[in-house]
Amino acid sequence: MDEKDLELLRILEENSRLSADEISIMTKLSTADVESRVHALEAAQVIKRYSTVINWERAGNGEVSAVIELKVSPERDYGYDRIAERLSRFRQVKTLRLMTGTYDLQLVVTGKNMQEVSRFVSEHVAPMDRIRETATHIIMKSYKENGHTLFEQQEAERLPYSF
Amino acid sequence: MRNFVSERANKIPPSGIRKFFDLALSMDNVISLGVGEPDFRTPWNICESSIYSIEQGNTSYTSNKGLPSLRDALSWYLGQHYNLPYTSSDEIIITSGVSEGLDIAIRSVIDPGDEVAIAQPSYVSYAPCVTLSGGRPVPVRCTEEDHFKLNPDALQEQITPKTKALIINFPNNPTGAVMNGSDLKAIADIVIDKDILLISDEVYAELTYEGTHVAAATVSDLWERTITLNGFSKAYAMTGWRVGYLCAPKELCDAALKIHQYIMLCAPVMGQVGALEALRSAEEDKNSMVNEYRLRRNMFVAGLNRIGLTCHVPEGAFYAFPSVKETGLSEVEFAERLLKEQKVAVVPGSVFGDGGEDHLRCAYAVSRKDLTEALGRMETFISGL
C-alpha cells in the first residue's frame, strides 16, 4: 500500500464508476497500472465492493431504518464475535458494530415499515441468547450518509470572471 | 465644472475584459473557466469558529498588525512549512487580502520615477499599483519556451539604474508556472548584485503539485531584501474573507504598517478569527482540495492537448495556459467567439500583460463534470473553425 494506492482509494470512494482510462489520465499512472492496483486492492479485500449512495427518502419507497443498541453478555473464548456474526447474517441488518460505552453492539436495521422493524427486533433480535437489553431508535431523517450530504445546498454565487 | 478625476486615476487603463463580463452575465448555461477563485466552500470548521466569535461579541478593531494569536500561529506555520523566520511581533502584518498587502508593499518602497520590474504575464493589479505610486512598471516577459519561468537574462535586460524593485508571483497566475530553488537562485544573484528589492506574491504556494514550494526569501541572502505576500484565499477557499499577510524584515514592515494603519486600520476581525482556525484545524481540508485540483489539472491539461490547444503542464495554482496559435485566431477573438458560440468563458492571456498574447487562461477550479463539458464544447468550437 503506497501513496498511489491511497489516491486510487480516495478517487474510487468518491466515484467508483470512473473508468481505468479516466483514472489513468487524472493520476498519471498507466491504465494497466491502475487496473493491476485496483485488482490487488480488491484481492486484499481493501476494496470490499462498489456501491451507490442512494437517498431512499427521495426514492419514495417508504423504508424505515432504525439504530438498535444491544447490551450483550460476552461468551467465554469468543467474546462478542459469535453473536455478532449471527446477527449480521440477517438481511435486515445493514450495519453492525461493537462499541465502547453504555451498550455493546450497534445495529442499523432497515425494513419496509415500522411494523416490520419492530417485529424483527422483538422476534429475532431480543430473544437471542446473551442479549440482555435492546433500545430501538427509529431514524426520522438522514442528513448525511458516508460523507455525502443528502439535503439540497444552494449554489454559492460566483462572478463569471475574476482575476 | 472641472474634470475632477486625477491624472493618476486617468493613467490606469480600464479592464480589458469588461465587455466579456457583461456578455457572460447576460447568457444562461455558461461554463466559466474565467474564475480566479476556488469552487469549494470555506471548510465549515473555519466558518463555524468565525460565527461563534461574532456571537461572543468579538466585533471590534484588532491591533493594526492583526490579532497577536494569528500572527503567532502564522510565524510558527511559515517557519515549519517554508523555513521562513518571520517574528510575530515585528515582521508580520495581517492585511485585507494580498491585494492590500501588494498595495502597501509598493507604496512603502516606491517613489515617483522609480522603475519596478514585473515578471509577466502577471496578476492584473501589479502594474496599476506601481503606477498609482508614481512608479513606472517595466514588464519582463516570461515565455512559453521557458515554461513561463522568469528568465534571468530577460530580467537583466530590463534593469536600469532606476530599477528599485522586482515583483514576482510563483506559482503564477495566469500561467501556473513554478520557480524551484535553482531557478530562484539565478534571479537572486541579479537582485542582490543590482541591489534591488524583491516583492514575492506567494498566494498560490500551497497549490504546488510537483515537489514543495520554495519561498523566495529563503534563497541566498534574499531575506533582508524581500517582502513576502501571502494569504488564505486560495489554499483555504476563503476569497471573500479578505485575509492576507505581508512579511518583511522589521524596517520594511514598519514602513508598510504606517500606510496600513491609515488606509485599513486592520483586517476584518471575523476574517482573522477564521484564518486562525484555518491554521489550527483545516490542514486536512486544504490537502484534499489541493489533491482534487491536481487530479483536475491532469485531466484538463491532457484534454486541452488532445483537442489541439497545446499546453505545458502547470506545476502550481489552478490555471492552465494553453496556446491558440494553431487555430489561427487571436486570443481575444478565440475567447469572444468561444463564449458566444459555445458558452465557455475563458480569459484572453493578453489581459495579463506581456507574454500572454496567443494564450488563454483557463481556471480549472470547477467541478470535473463541468471541465469535461467545457472540453467537449471547446472541441466542437475548434472543429468548426
In chain A, list all ranges with CATH 1.10.10.
Answer: 3-43
**For residue range B134-192, what is the model confidence (pLDDT) as tens digits?**
999 999 999 999 999 999 999 999 999 999 999 999 999 999 999 999 999 999 999 99
Q: Using an 8 Å CB-CB cutoff, list chain B residues near A25.
A: 298-299, 302
**For residue range B9-18, what is the model confidence (pLDDT) as tens digits?**
998 888 778 7
Domain B44-281 has CATH 3.40.640.10: yes
**For residue range B90-109, what is the model confidence (pLDDT) as tens digits?**
999 999 999 999 999 999 99
Q: Do B299 and A25 touch (CB under 8 A)?
A: yes
- Among A101, A99, A120, A100, which residue's Cα sits nearest to residue A109? A120
Amino acid, res. A71: K
Mean of pLDDT values over B341-354 = 96
The CATH architecture annotation of domain A59-141 reads 2-Layer Sandwich (3.30)
Which residue has 517613489 as its cell numbers?
B111
User: Helix or strand or coil: residue A155?
Assistant: coil
Residue in chain A nearest B344 by alpha carbon = A160
Q: Could you say which DSSP state residue A79 is in?
A: B
CATH T-level topology, domain B7-42+284-383: Aspartate Aminotransferase, domain 1 (3.90.1150)
Chain B from 179 to 198: CB within 8 A of any A CB: none
Q: Which of A25, A26, A162 sits opposite B37 (nearest CB)?
A: A162
Q: Which of A7, A26, A160 sits opposite B34 (nearest CB)?
A: A160
CA distance B309 to B101: 35
pLDDT value at A61 more than 80: no
Q: Do B299 and A26 touch (CB under 8 A)?
A: yes
Tell me if B217 sits within 8 A of B246, measured CB to CB.
no
Q: Do A163 and B173 touch (CB under 8 A)?
A: yes
Residue in chain A nearest B42 by alpha carbon = A156
Q: Using an 8 Å CB-CB cutoff, list chain B residues near A161.
A: 17, 20-21, 24, 32, 34-35, 345, 347
pTM, 2 dp: 0.90
CATH T-level topology, domain A3-43: Arc Repressor Mutant, subunit A (1.10.10)
Q: Could you state, in order of their start, the residue ranges of all structural domains in chain B?
A: 7-42+284-383, 44-281
Q: Using an 8 Å CB-CB cutoff, list chain B residues near A160.
A: 21, 24-25, 30, 32, 34-35, 345
Q: Which of B24, B173, B296 sits opposite A160 (nearest CB)?
A: B24
Mean of pLDDT values over A77-94 = 95
Q: Using an 8 Å CB-CB cutoff, list chain B residues near A10.
A: 288, 291
B130: Cβ contacts below 8 Å, ≥ 6 apart: B106, B110, B116, B118, B136, B137, B167
Q: Do B21 and A160 touch (CB under 8 A)?
A: yes
B37: Cβ contacts below 8 Å, ≥ 6 apart: A158, A162, B233, B234, B237, B239, B365
Tell me if A85 sits within 8 A of A157, measured CB to CB.
no
Q: Which residues are bridge partners to B316 per DSSP?
A: B208
Return the H-helix or E-strand segment holding A78. none
Q: What is the pLDDT, as a whole number, of residue B168?
A: 98
Q: Using an 8 Å CB-CB cutoff, list chain A residues near B30.
A: 160
In chain A, list all ranges with CATH 3.30.70.920.
Answer: 59-141
Q: Which of B37, B288, B298 sits opposite A26 (nearest CB)?
A: B298
